[in-house]
Amino acid sequence: MTEPLRLSKRMAELGLCSRREADDWISKGWVRVDGAVVDVLGSKVLPQQKITVDRRASAEQAQRVTVLLNKPVGYVSGQAEDGYPPAVTLVGADSRWPRDPSPLRFHPSQLRSLVPAGRLDIDSVGLLVLTQDGRIARHLIGEDSTVDKEYLVRVQYARPGRLPERDLKLLNHGLSLDGKPLRPAVVRWQNDDQLSFVLREGRKRQIRRMCEAVGLKVLGLKRVRIGGVRLGSLPPGQWRYLGPDERF
């Protein structure tokens, strides 16, 4: 017999919204299960039951924005820490990329609940996604996410000679961090001192630790792509809206 699931979890599994959004909609009476309103948090459903949401929920969701930022060095992805400002402080009318093709107008209300979908270290730069849409956040950083991310990494070999081919193969598959094996990656040389990394996971300081494991020192790290969305010519410290035709 199939076990019942929390309604909010089931809604997230179906891609309707995030679990936090689901709880909000449930409490507002915007969720129906088999046609009946369910407004009690923690309610459970069976997988075969039909879940629908009020059009007010869909309208609210449509107003949520997703921002692409070229994060410079010196900013943290999330909450401020150790005196470093959060990346969201770079999002404002004055720092919007003048070539942003989106017809959307910036309003300070768009900063509410604008959270990073993934992280970049203080000393890393490049594409950072900030979103109000829980579906996008879950798609990019959920446990079952399969979205790949591409980085350009400038390195210096700490030993005589050049990185052996066997160690390049280890970077592609065979390394572990904190006792857990890493998923296969695609790592290849771009030029004499720069590697391209394509990953489908994002453990803390993962690329730097992978490089350290084979004797490479990271001199610079830049994220240039997340799924089908590229950093392109977006300047450092500027941002633009995710376009309606762009897909991660």
pLDDT one digit per residue (tens) for the chain, 248 residues: 578 999 999 998 888 887 888 998 999 999 999 999 999 999 999 999 999 999 988 777 767 899 999 999 999 998 777 889 999 999 999 999 999 999 999 999 899 889 999 889 999 999 999 999 888 888 898 777 889 999 999 999 998 999 999 999 999 999 999 999 999 999 999 999 999 999 998 888 999 999 999 999 999 999 999 999 999 999 999 999 999 899 99
**Rg of the chain on CA atoms, in Å:** 21
Domains of the chain listed by start with CATH number:
5-60 (3.10.290.10), 66-144+229-241 (3.30.70.580), 149-226 (3.30.2350.10)
Q: Beta strands of the chain (E only): which ranges?
A: 5-6, 31-33, 36-37, 44-45, 51-53, 66-71, 115-116, 125-131, 149-157, 176-177, 180-181, 186-191, 194-199, 216-226, 229-230, 239-241
Name the residues annotated as catalytic: 121
Do β-strands 194-199 and 216-226 pair in parallel, antiparallel, or remain unpaired?
unpaired
* Per-residue pLDDT at 1: 52
Q: Which residues pair with 6 in a beta bridge?
A: 44
**Contact present, 38 and 12 (Cβ < 8 Å):** no
Cα dihedral sign, 43-41-111-235: negative
Q: How many CB atoms lie within 10 A of CB 88?
A: 22
Is pTM beyond 0.85? Reply is no
CA distance 183 to 145: 12
User: Is the Cβ–Cβ distance between 76 and 219 less than 8 Å?
Assistant: no
Strand, coil or helix: 37: strand
pLDDT of residue 109: 87
The Cα 34–Cα 214 span in angstroms is 56
Sign of CA dihedral 164, 169, 171, 177: negative
pLDDT computed for residue 98 by the predictor: 97
